[in-house]
């Protein structure tokens, strides 16, 4: 163990201290002293030659790549770029072994499985050796040049990929009046909601991304004329028709909508698309517990973005010249209206409950932001689907620490939008009473809504604590997970430190809950 480098993590914890370092979506290994990500960033700025190539970039053949497969000489290719990751080994939060799995080979798939969102280009830029001489093959369907065919997808994409596995092919059209331009997207999907669409007008780029099942349909255009800042977005029919109404700056007739930009009119598996960010302004920051704060950020006027229930976004800050990205789950501004006056129109504001780790990389920087400063916010991601709520009668929520954040919107949606719901129970695990987020709001909600119940479990309770104590266990769960009726349709949501979630999942399976009855929130 390396207590010196992470006193905040290790010094107070019990037998779980090795596991407890998992603060992201996967297990982390303890790093040696002086090997934190901040130390890595410092090293990359030191001017040291990290590739051994004195700043030269080379073309790397597959044969050459294969030769560099040892810890002290390890090259990895990600999306066609080759990095010498040997100097980074000791700094990698996932450990050397995880990196070595891709040694001397194309690690793109492995990388995407674990942390597609990590901004490796920025983190590893000083380790760049060069490009692959022959680019590793991307799936055939997505490499093709996309042509604009009056808003229809290129035929090959429609027939090959979509017919096999994707949604039926979306398309778009546009029309105009003297003052307005309307872009219509035909998704041909019934369950399209405003949360499925993200629209951004930034500089010369007008971008509409629609999530259809696990695919992303992108309209990306350099508009031919100027428009006003605000626009409206509506889903107009059950059949999944979306209308985006733009206001012209001048009432001239547009001969075309504009010119196609990168990936315009493409339908790609969402996992193959890049995260898209816009800069949001910090509007407020309030203490919630001794270490957790409620941040609210405002979207730019020319962005439409709604984070669906159960999904997260990525926040990006440049820290010491390196872009750092971490996932956060938006919450509502409160659980019960009495606790907050709705000052802001909710569609323009995003709220985050964030725990600040003094020895962390990202959260201390986030905490340093002043009101009016900017943080970049990505499009929403996540595997939770509203359809998991269908016909649900009993909802059980298991949360530990900030693992409470996805439960906030889940709870609200269940209590307001699921007619079949009979019971919602939250079991909330924390170390001490001072760590409990929104305790009085939760108690108030339980008083107000008879269907809702909350139980707090403390792992380090004071002697006078009369409530439940300990860690997640079979005894706690079997008592907690009592259905309202024997045959109730149940959903169990679980979120917290990775080892907590993994342990909980195992216990739930042991208690014979099926996969469909459990949702675990992870990155």
Please, are residues 47 and 99 in contact by the beta-carbon 8 Å criterion? Answer: no
Asked if residue 316 binds ligand FAD (CB under 6 A), the reply is no
Q: Between 445 and 464, how does the x/- string for binding to ligand NAP read (CB under 6 A)?
A: --------------xx----
Closer by beta carbon to ligand FAD, 158 or else 386: 386
Q: Nearest to ligand FAD by Cβ — which residue?
A: 360
Alpha carbon separation from 266 to 164, 169, 205 (Å, rounded):
16, 10, 16
CA angle 171, 167, 146 (to 5 degrees): 50
Footprint of ligand NAP on 285-324 (CB under 6 A): 312
**Partner that binds at residue 359, options ligand NAP, ligand FAD, none, CB closer than 5 to 8 Å by kind:** ligand FAD
Asked if residue 65 binds ligand FAD (CB under 6 A), the reply is no
Single residue of 5, 25, 116, 449 touching ligand NAP by CB under 6 A: 25
**Partner that binds at residue 94, options ligand NAP, ligand FAD, none, CB closer than 5 to 8 Å by kind:** none
Rounded Cα distance, 240 and 128, in Å: 44
Rounded Cα distance, 14 and 189, in Å: 50
Asked if residue 369 binds ligand FAD (CB under 6 A), the reply is no
Q: Give me the residues paired with residue 105 across strands.
A: 76
Please, are residues 320 and 41 in contact by the beta-carbon 8 Å criterion? Answer: yes
Stretch that binds ligand NAP, among 65-73, 222-230, 300-308, 402-410 (CB under 6 A): 402-410
DSSP 446-481: HHH-TTEEEEEEESS--TT--SEESSS-HHHHHHH-
Asked if residue 352 binds ligand FAD (CB under 6 A), the reply is yes
Instruction: Say how many residues touch ligand FAD, by CB under 6 A.
Output: 30
| Residue of 390, 391, 387, 429 whose CA lies nearest to 407 | 429
Asked if residue 409 binds ligand FAD (CB under 6 A), the reply is no
Footprint of ligand FAD on 322-341 (CB under 6 A): 326-329
Q: Which helix (H) or strand (E) holds 141?
A: helix 140-143
Please, are residues 102 and 70 in contact by the beta-carbon 8 Å criterion? Answer: no
**Partner that binds at residue 223, options ligand NAP, ligand FAD, none, CB closer than 5 to 8 Å by kind:** none
Strands 197-202, 303-304: pairing kind:
antiparallel
Q: How many CA atoms lie within 13 A of 514 on its CB side?
A: 4
Single residue of 86, 157, 196, 363 touching ligand FAD by CB under 6 A: 363
Please, are residues 405 and 376 in contact by the beta-carbon 8 Å criterion? Answer: no
Rounded Cα distance, 406 and 492, in Å: 13
Single residue of 87, 170, 380, 401 touching ligand NAP by CB under 6 A: 401
**Partner that binds at residue 360, options ligand FAD, ligand NAP, none, CB closer than 5 to 8 Å by kind:** ligand FAD
Q: Nearest to ligand NAP by Cβ — which residue?
A: 401
Closer by beta carbon to ligand NAP, 103 or else 481: 481
DSSP 242-298: EEEEEEESS-PPPSSSEEE-TTTTEEEEGGGSPP-EEEEEEEEEEESSSSEEEEEEE
Residue numbers of the site for ligand FAD (CB under 6 A)?
Answer: 6, 8-9, 21, 23-25, 28-31, 93, 312, 326-329, 352-355, 357, 359-363, 402, 405, 523
Using CB under 6 A as the criterion, which residues of the chain lie in contact with ligand NAP when the complex forms?
Answer: 13, 16, 19-20, 22-25, 312, 329, 355, 400-403, 405-406, 429-431, 435, 459-460, 471-472, 495-497, 499-500, 503, 521-523
């Amino acid at each position: 163990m390396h207590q010196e480098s992470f006193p905040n993590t290790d010094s107070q914890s019990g037998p779980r201290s090795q596991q407890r370092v998992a603060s992201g979506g996967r297990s982390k290994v303890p790093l040696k002293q002086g090997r934190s990500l901040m130390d890595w960033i410092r090293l990359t700025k030191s001017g040291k030659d990290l590739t051994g190539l004195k700043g030269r970039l080379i073309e790397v053949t597959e044969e050459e790549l294969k030769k560099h497969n040892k810890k002290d000489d390890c090259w990895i290719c990600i999306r066609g770029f080759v990095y010498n990751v040997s100097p980074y080994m000791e700094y990698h939060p996932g450990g050397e072994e995880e990196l070595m799995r891709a040694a001397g080979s194309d690690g793109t798939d492995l990388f995407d499985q674990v942390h597609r969102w990590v901004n490796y280009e920025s983190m590893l830029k000083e380790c760049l050796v060069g490009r692959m001489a022959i680019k590793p093959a991307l799936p055939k369907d997505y490499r093709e040049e996309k042509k604009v065919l009056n808003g229809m997808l290129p035929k090959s994409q429609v027939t090959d990929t979509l017919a096999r596995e994707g949604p039926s092919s979306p398309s778009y059209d546009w029309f105009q009046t003297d003052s307005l331009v309307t872009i219509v997207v035909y998704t041909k999907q019934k369950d399209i909601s405003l949360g499925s669409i993200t629209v951004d007008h930034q500089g010369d780029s007008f971008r509409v991304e629609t999530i259809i099942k696990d695919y992303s349909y992108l309209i990306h255009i350099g508009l031919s004329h100027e428009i006003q800042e605000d626009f409206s977005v509506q889903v107009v029919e059950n059949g999944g028709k979306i209308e985006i109404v733009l206001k012209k700056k001048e009432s001239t007739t547009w001969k075309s909508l504009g010119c196609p930009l990168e990936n315009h009119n493409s339908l790609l598996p969402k996992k193959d698309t890049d995260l898209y960010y816009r800069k949001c302004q910090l509007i407020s920051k309030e203490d919630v517990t001794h270490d957790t704060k409620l941040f609210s950020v405002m979207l730019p006027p020319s962005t439409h973005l709604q984070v669906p229930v159960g999904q997260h976004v990525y926040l990006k800050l440049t820290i010491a010249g390196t872009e750092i990205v971490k996932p956060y789950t938006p919450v509502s501004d409160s659980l019960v209206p009495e606790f907050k006056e709705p000052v802001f129109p909710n569609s323009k504001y995003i709220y985050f409950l964030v725990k600040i780790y003094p020895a962390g990389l990202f959260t201390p920087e986030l905490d340093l932001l002043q009101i009016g400063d900017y943080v970049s916010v990505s499009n929403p991601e996540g595997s939770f689907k509203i359809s998991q709520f269908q016909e649900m009668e009993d909802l059980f929520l298991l949360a530990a620490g900030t693992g409470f954040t996805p439960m906030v919107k889940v709870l609200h949606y269940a209590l307001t939008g699921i007619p079949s719901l009979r019971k919602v129970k939250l079991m909330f695990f924390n170390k001490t009473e001072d760590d409990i987020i929104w305790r009085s709001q939760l108690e108030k909600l339980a008083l107000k809504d008879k269907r809702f119940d909350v139980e707090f479990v403390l792992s380090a309770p004071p002697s006078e604590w009369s409530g439940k104590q300990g860690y997640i266990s079979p005894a706690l769960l079997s008592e907690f997970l009592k259905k309202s009726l024997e045959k109730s349709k149940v959903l169990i949501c679980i979120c917290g430190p990775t080892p907590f979630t993994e342990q909980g999942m195992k216990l739930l399976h042991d208690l014979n809950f099926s996969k469909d009855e459990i949702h675990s929130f992870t990155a």
